[in-house]
Structure 1
């Protein structure tokens, strides 16, 4: 029965010279949500959650994402989402790559030393996931025997201050 109806409709359309077009239902990209992240030492291309005009989540196969900015280091990354397939339109947003706490870094090379050596700078290696970290050292600049404090301030992709203790031994 259905086949006969389709054949009849096709014959009518052809006899009147009409072209019938059907359109797939289309939707529009309306907005996106994207979370901030913390520095990892690797590129972070944070995938946004994309929503249509009705507030329903759009599957990732229906949009492409463009990242504008440094996706590795601390700062702001701009994101553009463009609809594909049955989705049209676009949305923009951004996320922040936050600085990581220097307290999460590995410190090696901190040594105690003899007071006869006078004040001696520490030869430290500070790393995060095997990568060198930018930092500044603050000493108490004393060569007196006792326990001394070394402050390590994070720079660049690192924030905060890490306190380490070391000893200067008295000599006889």
Structure 2
């Protein structure tokens, strides 16, 4: 659903967005063509577009995309379910929450990149090491939102729900 500002601007907003895109791509092209950006590190926009078109036509691209989407979906589902279950359970049990709190915060503060080689050693180079890494990304986002949401439910709403059965 469009916001009021976007609805009023209509076609003008689309033109501005396309203009910004053209400016960025044009600036990128000029900087690579003049040598300000090294071609070894920053390819020209047209070369990137041609490579994408060529790669999309290969069967391996679609196979790799399917594997990546499978890993992403598995990580999202597993991380979400674990986050919801753990967040709800700890929010409902204050003592368990107090015991686990420092460990959860410490594990959340750990950079996820550090876990990638550990998961590769434990789970191998197949799908499950990548899924495990994705689970750690999803779990904490879902966990902390569910945990905070359950804890902040108004006592009045809880009392009303209990009265209504």
What is the TM-score when the length of structure 2 is the normalising length? 0.19
1 or 2, which has the higher strand percentage?
Answer: 1
1 or 2, which has the higher helix percentage?
Answer: 2
Of structures 1 and 2, the larger Rg is shown by 1
What is the TM-score when the length of structure 1 is the normalising length? 0.19
